[in-house]
A and B are shown apart, each in its own frame.
Chain A
Amino acid sequence: MSSNEIVLKAQGLYKVFGPKPDAAIKKIQGGAPRDKIGANNTAAVIDASFEVQRGEIFVVMGLSGSGKSTLIRMLNGLWEPTAGTVDILGDTLTGVSARKLRNIRETRVSMVFQQFALLPHRSVLDNVAYGLEIRKMPRAQRIERARKYISMVGLDGWEDKYPKELSGGMQQRVGLARALAADTDVLLMDEAFSALDPLIRREMQEQLIELQSELDKTIIFITHDLNEAMFIGDRIAVMRDGRIVQIGTPEEILTDPANEYVSQFVQDVDRARVLTASAVMQPPAALMQLPGGPRKALRIMREQQTSACFVVDRHRKLLGAVTDREALSLLRRGEESLTDHLSEAAQTTPDTLLAELFIPAVESVLPLAVVDERGRLQGVVPRVVLLAALGGEHEAGVNAQPIPPALAPSVVEDALSADSGPDVKPVSTASTVQPQEEDN
């Protein structure tokens, strides 16, 4: 989703409010805690460095007072950093003339605001065209462009209304359209959805992701809502007390928190809606590559102690699955080829959220097969892994004891006819339930 071009680069950013900011920075660099840097000095942002790639949604997440709003305002020069630099595509924002800075804002970076910040005395159309008007685009041209973006955010027919005639969600769509119409390289979003109702918020988040995949925008998104951060972020920077404490993908933050603070923070996250199949999948235990017949399949299942196995072709493309029962009956009938007798294996894609895997997992006797867009088997997600991932430790799923393998029917029959003892029975009945389930 992102090429490797660095669009925005922040290096060693500090923002200290107060009478002696430079002295305060020296104290911080000398190891002084944030609250001991002089009476009236407030360090809002401390040593923030990160890079954002083209096409990425980079989320800065932190509670109020963590410095995230200050940070985003340094990225377009609304506030001058006390120390450090910001580069957008090679243009340095820090320490440049007001004219140069305005120029960068016109073409490089636009912004969406928490309280929408629309101009109440202008129509939706003129609001959306505002950035273009500043850029001195001729009226006819900018109106046409504004209409296009209004339509893109789904506000057709509202062009001539005024902001206060619109609901909050619609107003923010106008804000979003205004920022998109400016057609800048970077889009800054400051708590853009925080003022909206939860249902509208989710709708806007989905729309943002949709627009992003369509327009390939580079977005820096500020939020205090971890679920929101996890939902929309390609990468997340977690801020605390002015510092960035961890930068990583949502999955990294969730599965490998940098410190106690982050791990406490993420403990309430709905993992099933953050983690994807690729994060928890394992290498398939029982896998048979063609060519090969029922005999080979049975051998593999015996070695791996499973009741079924996936079958792939030479290019690792998933063809289906075969159970031990089927393999055995094919073997008895003397069939040499498996290809016409494969049952369909439940599949999913690497990007599918765990939340969407539960029902397929329940309905499938085999672990869910994770296949890429070319149909190649990437891994499998057994049910135990799903459960372990919800518990916060999907590693536990790897070590979980496998369900005892089903015995071949012949073995069971032999055992039953020989009446070899009561201790075999529970095992066989429990495990033979599985193939029956599949028949449904």
Chain B
Amino acid sequence: MEDFRIPVGERASEGVDWVVENLGSLFDWLRSVFVGMYESVNWVLSTPPAIVVIITIVVLGLFARGWTFAVASALGLLLIVGMDQWDNAMNTLALVLVAATIAIVLAIPLGIAAAKVRPVSIVVRPVMDFLQTMPAFVYLIPALLLFRVGVAPGIVATIIFAMAPGVRLTELGIRGVDRETVEAGQAFGATPGRILRQIQLPLALPSIMAGINQVIMLSLSMVVIAGLVGAGGLGGDVITSLNRLDTALGVEAGLSVVILAMLLDRFTSAFGERRGLYAALRKGRPAVGNV
């Protein structure tokens, strides 16, 4: 048995090398796209004074969930400013927003396809298992080789790592829509596209929103790890504090991550529930799907 060795790693490495050599220009283009997106979002978040961004977030929070949440987010964001992590936090937020948006844009159609077409589901499921369970650091290696140091490998690794729950919960949500309600659409002569738009997606929305929430949360955790490949932001400080055994910096950067995480989680979970001022303005309209 000592000679028994399947060179999986070697082959994978050769594959990546081949891609780097032959498809280098494609990845350069992708890199510039990702970097461009990140820089635009980051510009929007980082250019205005902190207080303007904070007020904007607080107002959004007021609409999404109500007063308590608005006050709590104001306090949290002020704490980040007080810990001198504001710029890092905005960099990280920009990374999360870009990566999560791309992940969601890929995940939802894939989830719909998996729900509608059985073979797609059969293929997608193990792929999602693979993406979700492979240790997150491992993605960084090929990402680093393909996209070089910077935000691009961070974004790519984040997309891959965070996509799975978006696909899964979309598929689950659409499959879980009451069969009779779908039949009702069919029985009145609706086309499959109309049934998807008017029945399946609205009724699956709570599940899809849960998926989006998960994607964003996973993105945030991966973005911190992406600090290892020079993605910067809070992740950069976390890595630095680890290297220097700098407890003070570690706590401040870590706490900022926690505050961002809670903010993002509460925001995204509120969308499916229709609470706060937004709901009050559209009085009487019940939440979708909670039947």
CB distance from B264 to the nearest CB of A (A): 26
Which residues of A30-74 are within 8 A (CB) of B?
73
B-contact 0/1 string along A10-42, CB 8 Å cutoff? 000000000000000000000000000000000
A114: which B residues are within 8 A, CB to CB? 180
Closest to A99 in B: B191
B194: which A residues are within 8 A, CB to CB? 134
Given A120-B203, A162-B286, do A115 and B180 touch, yes or no (CB 8 Å)? yes
A103 to B189, CA, bound (A): 6
CB distance from B200 to the nearest CB of A (A): 11
Given A113-B183, A119-B198, A120-B203, do A164 and B188 touch, yes or no (CB 8 Å)? no
B290: which A residues are within 8 A, CB to CB? 164
The answer to whether A117 touches B286 (Cβ under 8 A) is no
Closest to B194 in A: A134
B202 near A: Cβ within 8 Å?
yes
A103: which B residues are within 8 A, CB to CB? 189
A67 to B198, CA, bound (A): 30
B187 near A: Cβ within 8 Å?
yes
The answer to whether B178 touches A117 (Cβ under 8 A) is yes
The answer to whether B203 touches A113 (Cβ under 8 A) is no
Pick from B178, B188, B198, B284: contact of A110, CB below 8 A.
B188
Pick from B183, B190, B199, B286: contact of A164, CB below 8 A.
B286
Which residues of A190-205 are within 8 A (CB) of B?
none
A178 to B189, CA, bound (A): 13
Which residues of B55-109 are within 8 A (CB) of A?
none
The answer to whether A134 touches B181 (Cβ under 8 A) is no
The answer to whether A131 touches B188 (Cβ under 8 A) is yes
Given A105-B187, A105-B189, do A117 and B202 touch, yes or no (CB 8 Å)? no
A106: which B residues are within 8 A, CB to CB? 188-189
A164 to B191, CA, bound (A): 26
A76 to B187, CA, bound (A): 7
A120 to B284, CA, bound (A): 13
A110: which B residues are within 8 A, CB to CB? 187-188
Given A120-B289, A163-B291, do A111 and B187 touch, yes or no (CB 8 Å)? yes
Which residues of A121-145 are within 8 A (CB) of B?
121, 130-131, 134-135
A117 to B188, CA, bound (A): 12
The answer to whether A120 touches B291 (Cβ under 8 A) is yes
User: How many B residues face the partner with a CB closer than 8 A?
Assistant: 23
A103 to B186, CA, bound (A): 11
Given A113-B180, A114-B180, A117-B180, do A78 and B186 touch, yes or no (CB 8 Å)? yes
Given A117-B181, A121-B203, A165-B286, do A134 and B187 touch, yes or no (CB 8 Å)? no
CB distance from A119 to the nearest CB of B (A): 6
A76 to B190, CA, bound (A): 13
B180: which A residues are within 8 A, CB to CB? 113-117
A130 to B199, CA, bound (A): 11
Pick from A73, A115, A121: contact of B202, CB below 8 A.
A121
A182 near B: Cβ within 8 Å?
yes
A182 to B289, CA, bound (A): 25
Closest to A127 in B: B184
CB distance from B239 to the nearest CB of A (A): 46
The answer to whether A111 touches B184 (Cβ under 8 A) is yes
Q: Tell which of B188, B199, B288, B290 has the most Cβ of chain A within 10 Å.
A: B188
A76 to B180, CA, bound (A): 14
A102 near B: Cβ within 8 Å?
yes
A131 to B181, CA, bound (A): 13
A182: which B residues are within 8 A, CB to CB? 188
B285 near A: Cβ within 8 Å?
yes
Which residues of B159-189 are within 8 A (CB) of A?
178, 180-181, 183-184, 186-189
Q: Tell which of B181, B187, B291 has the most Cβ of chain A within 10 Å.
A: B187
A-contact 0/1 string along B238-270, CB 8 Å cutoff? 000000000000000000000000000000000
Closest to A108 in B: B189
A22 to B185, CA, bound (A): 29
The answer to whether A135 touches B183 (Cβ under 8 A) is no
Pick from B183, B284, B285, B289: contact of A117, CB below 8 A.
B183
Q: Tell which of A73, A113, A117, A135 has the most Cβ of chain B within 10 Å.
A: A117
Pick from B186, B187, B189, B288: contact of A120, CB below 8 A.
B288
A135: which B residues are within 8 A, CB to CB? 189
A188 to B290, CA, bound (A): 28
A-contact 0/1 string along B191-225, CB 8 Å cutoff? 10010001100110000000000000000000000
Pick from A73, A115, A119: contact of B199, CB below 8 A.
A119
A105 to B195, CA, bound (A): 14
CB distance from B285 to the nearest CB of A (A): 7
Given A164-B286, A165-B286, do A119 and B188 touch, yes or no (CB 8 Å)? no
A273 to B131, CA, bound (A): 66
The answer to whether B189 touches A117 (Cβ under 8 A) is no
CB distance from A375 to the nearest CB of B (A): 46
Given A117-B178, A117-B181, A121-B202, do A134 and B291 touch, yes or no (CB 8 Å)? no
CB distance from A307 to the nearest CB of B (A): 61
What 3 pairs across the A-B complex have the smallest Cβ distances?
A: A106-B189, A117-B184, A105-B189
Q: Which residues of A contact B (CB under 8 A)?
A: 73, 76, 78, 102-106, 109-111, 113-121, 130-131, 134-135, 160, 162-165, 178, 182, 188
12 other A-B residue contacts (CB within 8 Å) besides A117-B180, A121-B203: A105-B186, A105-B189, A106-B189, A111-B188, A117-B183, A119-B198, A120-B203, A120-B289, A131-B189, A164-B286, A178-B188, A188-B187
Query: What are 9 A-B contacts defined by CB distance under 8 Å?
Result: A76-B187, A103-B189, A105-B187, A105-B189, A111-B188, A116-B180, A119-B181, A121-B288, A163-B291
